[in-house]
Structures are given as structure tokens and as C-alpha cells.
Amino acid sequence: MTIQQVQQEILRQKREQDVCVLAHSYQAREILEIADIVGDSFYLSAQAAKAPQRGMLLCGVRFMAETVKLLSPDKRVLLANPGAGCPMAEQMDRDLIRAVRAKHPDHTVVAYINTTAALKTVCDVCVTSSSAVKIVRKLENDKILFLPDRNLGDFVRKQLPEKQIKLLQGGCPIHAAVTPRDVRNARAAHPAALLLVHPECTPDVVAAADFAGSTADIMRFAKASDRREFIIGTEGSIAEHLQYDCPEKRFYPLTKQLLCPNMKLTTLPDVLKALQGEGGEEISLDPDTLRDARKCIDRMIALGE
Ligand code: 13P
Ligand code: SF4
């Protein structure tokens, strides 16, 4: 089957079965083309809560599919490729966070959405990279424990000096591996370009950038800008999507290593197999997890929209 034939079959199956396909912007173009909802983590969560379809199929990583399940507990929610996890989401467990809470009982625990549903049950509110500053600013408590991404936490802390934000030592292995030297090399190679980075990059890299924001923020900034060249400091697919959407501009990846192998696992045949009942994984969460983790997500959507 050609790519177009697989896409046609996916469109037919999802219409027939009344399934909503959600794809994170890091997915390949051929997957974005067949999706009903495409965006960054915040947009996917906010839209998933409103989707009218009977079933949900997530193309991205496991914590995103879990978030969809939390928001639609009565629907069948599938993760297109069961092997696609986010290493950051697995870095901390409930016992660690319970112990940290016990040491800091007066702090509000803010969890990046890149965490397991189980971990969310012991946190107070979730944030995404696009909503973190807005949400933390709105919290009544000035004492914050931010987990797991120390780089995103540092980004929030710098913008909200009135808050006392304690950071835990987790992070994205892909974004955190970018170095100031990579920045110098990219700037030397493309002196006319603006540098746009994700706040999962280290504080040194963020400080050297012209703009820092979520996947969707970076795409919006680049599209609206009257500049013509951009170095993109987030997963490589974003430079590719921007180049496709804005052929008159030039987009360069900050480094060739900025590729998330987990986000790249899902293929178009995976999506079709999941719809045909021959692949994918149905997300199942126990009732306590559904109830306790959902509070964090509901609060995030209410404060972030
Ligand atoms: P966004 O909030 O920008 O979608 O980020 C999700 C993610 O996993 C970034 O690595
Ligand atoms: Fe997780 Fe980093 Fe991949 Fe995003 S880019 S899914 S944070 S490993």
C-alpha cells in the first residue's frame, strides 16, 4: 500500500468507528495529516476533553494517552505504539514525592504533564511548557515544589521572582543534552537567524536564545515573525514542519541530535493497525488513579485556558 492508500484507509476506519486521532506536533507529517487534533501537550489535553467522538487514539507518548484517558474515563483510549514512553515521565515515583511532600508540607506540588498518571495522584496541579508560567503565577501559595523538569522549573522561577520555587532534579535527556557550544556553532553557521528554544533546554541555552517557549509557541513565533531564518532548539520535526508550512523562510535544527526516539516510534501502519484492532494498547487506569490524577489535569485546564 502507498502512504496515500494507508491514509485513506485510516480516514475510512476512523469515520466508521467514530474515533478521534490526536497527534503531538513532534509526530511525522503523514500522521499529522490524518489527525483530528494536532498540537502541543496543553492543546491536546484541552481539546481531548471536548472531543465528541466515541473512541480516542493518541499518536505521541504514553503520558499523553494517559492524560486523554483521565479526561475521558468512559471512552476507549488507545496509544498507537505501546513502546512510546517519555523517559522524563518515569524519573520519579510516588514514594519519592510523598517523602518530599512530608518534608515541605506548606508547598504546592506542581507536576509537569510529562509524568505518569500514578505520579499525578500525589501532586496538586499539572502544567505544560506553554502554560507553566501562567498557572504558577495564579496559584495562591507562593511556595512551590516543581517536578520533574529542573530546566522548565528554572525558566518559570526566572519569570516569577515573587514565588519561592524549589526544583527537583529531573529533565528531558534530549533537550538537556544541547550545550552552549552547540548554540555557538549554530549561530556561527547561520548568523542572520533567530534562535528559538524549548524551555526543557538548560538555563545556559535558554539564556542564549532570542525566544523560549513550547512547541506551539515556537511555531507561532516563527510564523508571525518578519524575519526569514530561524535556528530551532526543540525536537527536529518542528524545524521540518515549519519548513513545510513556510517555504519562503529557512529553518535549521539547533543540533542534529535533537531527536526524540520515542516520539519517532509511531508510524502510519501503527495507526492503521491500532484502528483495526491488531496493534496499539488500550490505556487502563484504576478508579483511584483516575479520580486522584484527574484533579491535577482539570485544575491545569481551568487555570491555563
Ligand atoms: P510541549 O508542551 O511543547 O508539547 O512539550 C512536550 C514535550 O514532550 C516536549 O519535549
Ligand atoms: Fe519526553 Fe523529551 Fe521526548 Fe519530550 S522530547 S517526549 S520530554 S523525552
Ligand nearest to the CA of 174: 2
CA-nearest of 207, 184, 185 to 197 is 207
Cα 26 to its chain centre, rounded Å, is 9
pLDDT digits (tens, 9 = 90+) for 246-297: 999 999 999 999 999 999 999 999 999 999 999 999 999 999 999 999 999 9
Ligand with an atom nearest the CA of residue 88:
2
Task: Say what angle helices 215-224 and 236-245 make with each other, to 10 degrees.
Answer: 30
First to last CA, the chain: 41
Contacts of 283 (CB under 8 A, 6+ apart): 65, 66, 68, 69, 77, 78, 79
Q: Give yes or no for residue 237 CB within 6 A of ligand 1.
A: no
- Residue from 63, 172, 266 to probe ligand 2 pocket by mutation (most atoms less than 8 Å from CB): 172
Q: Which ligand is nearest to the CA of 214?
A: 1
CA distance 220 to 45: 19
3-class SS of residue 232: strand
Query: Distance, CA 15 to ligand 2 centroid (Å)?
Result: 30
Mean of pLDDT values over 197-214 = 97
Euclidean distance between CA atoms 155 and 218, whole angstroms: 15
The one-letter amino acid at 297: I
Q: Is the CB of 172 under 6 A from ligand 2?
A: yes
What percentage of residues in the chain have a pLDDT greater than 90? Answer: 98
The rounded Å distance from CA 85 to ligand 1 centre is 13
**Domain boundary assignment for the chain:** 3-85+263-284, 88-172+289-304, 178-253
- With a 6 Å cutoff on the Cβ, whether 129 touches ligand 1 is yes
| Nearest CA, atom 6, ligand 1 | 41
**Ligand 2 close to Cβ of residue 85 (< 6 A):** no
For residue 166, give the DSSP letter: E
Specify the CATH number of the domain 3-85+263-284.
Answer: 3.40.50.10800
Cα–ligand 1 centroid distance for 161 (angstroms): 24
**pLDDT at position 305, please?**
84
What global pTM score does this model have? 0.95
Ligand 2 atom nearest the C-alpha of 24 is: 6
Neighbours of 90 (CB within 10 A): 16
Strand partners of residue 142: none
pLDDT, averaged across the chain:
97
Say if residues 57 and 275 touch (Cβ distance below 8 Å): yes
pLDDT band at residue 183 under the 50/70/90 scheme: very high
Q: CA 18, CA 288: separation in Å to the nearest integer?
A: 28
Check if 235 has its Cβ closer than 6 Å to any atom of ligand 2: yes
**What's the CATH architecture for 88-172+289-304?**
3-Layer(aba) Sandwich (3.40)
Mean pLDDT of 163-185: 97
User: Based on C-alpha coordinates, what's the Rg of the chain?
Assistant: 19
* Closest ligand 1 atom to Cα of 214: 3
Mean pLDDT of 179-196: 98
How much of the chain, in percent, has pLDDT values that exceed 70? 100
Q: Specify the CATH architecture of the domain 178-253.
A: 3-Layer(aba) Sandwich (3.40)
Note the pLDDT tens digit of each residue in 61-96. Answer: 999 999 999 999 999 999 999 999 999 999 999 999
Provide the total of helices (H) and of strands (E) in the chain, helices listed first.
14, 13
Whether 220 shows a pLDDT value over 90: the answer reads yes
Query: For ligand 1, is residue 172 a contact (CB within 6 Å)?
Result: yes
For residue 45, pLDDT over 90 is answered with no
Single-letter amino acid, residue 140: E
